[in-house]
Amino acid sequence: MMDVAKLARVSPSTVSLYLRRPSAVSPSAGQEIDRAISTLGYVPNLVAGGLAAASSKVVSIIVPSIRNAFFAETVSALQSELAADGLQVLLGHSEYAEDQEEALVRTALSWAPAAIVLTGLSHSAGTRKLLQASGIPVVEMWELGGKPIDMAVGFSHPQVGATAARHLLSKGRRSLAFLGARMQEDHRAEKRASGFAEAARAGGVSACEVLNHPGAATVEAGSLLLNRALQQVSGLDGIACSNDLIALGALFECQRQGIAVPDEIAVMGFGDLSFSASCIPSLTTIRPSGELIGKEVARLILGSIHGERPEGASRIVDTGHVLIERKSS
């Protein structure tokens, strides 16, 4: 920066100012600086900038797994929005483990990030304490219904489960099953399941089983779970899945066993993944809109950084969910 300043015949602080607020510098000086930057090939050192400013142009995002299409969609949208404002994304995977999340939060804080984004509302006491003490803007995403540390963007998972149950009830289904995966760790999936069971019981079903596959939510898990459901629920005529991949596996398994969907069993998923509109039969599902979540998280973060921090009710954004009715139900 000193070299740039020397070549442009201004002081380093003018260069610094120009880089951060170009309008605060006279146009002629700005042009000189621009020229000097490009002839020297100057690349600013954001590490030094972060140290001096006591806050770096980085946003730390912690998700359970980037291999999950939901979070990939959100991170992708978030990254695009933040990059437009010169913010970088520091990514971490908690693998659904609170202690791992706490370790990631600790490292994240060492970067003095402009904001921290976490997934869900369940965190260790240590994580909460670290974040509250830091004073850094925190956004919890993909879940609503508890008390957020700072801000939250998402939707109610029990309500998603209830929507699924009511849809199956409206189709005259009375022997239901909820097929979920990794629910011992994935609290949000577990909440969809309990919301489903509650609404199903309130609707007076004759049977409602919640089945869990301890491994990841995959197509194969869906096949396994459908078979277990057939064994455990007599007269099974409706299933809801915690993820479209599981629903797809269930559809395949029905096809293999000659079970007509939706005539014998109605199937619905969650996520509205890319294949859900095109599979056979097309899949009724609930769309949470990971992209919208990403955009809203970005909006809250940019608001916190630039203008004033959002206050009161505006610190919680409900992105809702949408039932997409297709042929599988």
Partner DNA sequence: GTGAAAGCGCTAACAA
Partner DNA sequence: TTGTTAGCGCTTTCAC
Query: What is the binding site for a second copy (CB under 8 A)?
Result: 41, 43-48, 50-51, 56, 58, 65-67, 69, 72-73, 75-76, 79-80, 83, 86, 88-93, 104, 106-112, 130, 133, 218-220, 222-223, 245, 248-249, 252, 255-256, 274-275, 277-280
3-state secondary structure at position 230: helix
**Distance of closest approach, residue 261 Cβ to a second copy, in angstroms:** 13
Per the CB < 8 A criterion, the answer to whether 191 and 224 are in contact is: no
**Residues 283, 271: Cα–Cα separation, whole Å:** 10
**Distance of closest approach, residue 17 Cβ to DNA, in angstroms:** 5
For a second copy, which is the closer residue by CB, 91 or 323?
A: 91
For DNA, which is the closer residue by CB, 41 or 172?
A: 41
Distances (CA, A) of 169 to 39, 86, 199, 207: 70, 49, 9, 12
Could you tell which of a second copy, DNA, none binds residue 275, using a CB distance below 5 to 8 A set by kind? a second copy
**Distance of closest approach, residue 136 Cβ to DNA, in angstroms:** 14
Could you tell which of a second copy, DNA, none binds residue 248, using a CB distance below 5 to 8 A set by kind? a second copy
DSSP E strands, the chain = 58-63, 88-93, 115-119, 138-141, 151-154, 175-181, 207-213, 238-241, 266-268, 285-287, 316-318, 322-324
**Distance of closest approach, residue 127 Cβ to DNA, in angstroms:** 20
Count the Cβ atoms, other than its own, within 10 Å of residue 240: 35
For a second copy, which is the closer residue by CB, 35 or 106?
A: 106
DSSP 234-282: TT--EEEESSHHHHHHHHHHHHHHT--TTTT-EEE-SS--TTTTTSSSP
For a second copy, which is the closer residue by CB, 20 or 106?
A: 106
For DNA, which is the closer residue by CB, 14 or 289?
A: 14
DSSP E strands, 78-131 = 88-93, 115-119
Q: Are strands 285-287 and 322-324 parallel, antiparallel or unpaired?
A: antiparallel
**Distance of closest approach, residue 88 Cβ to a second copy, in angstroms:** 6
Could you tell which of a second copy, DNA, none binds residue 227, using a CB distance below 5 to 8 A set by kind? none
Residues that bind DNA in the complex, under the rule CB under 7 A: 1-2, 9-14, 16-17, 19-20, 24-26, 28-29, 44-45, 48-49, 51-54
Could you tell which of a second copy, DNA, none binds residue 14, using a CB distance below 5 to 8 A set by kind? DNA
Residue type, 77: A
**Distance of closest approach, residue 37 Cβ to DNA, in angstroms:** 10
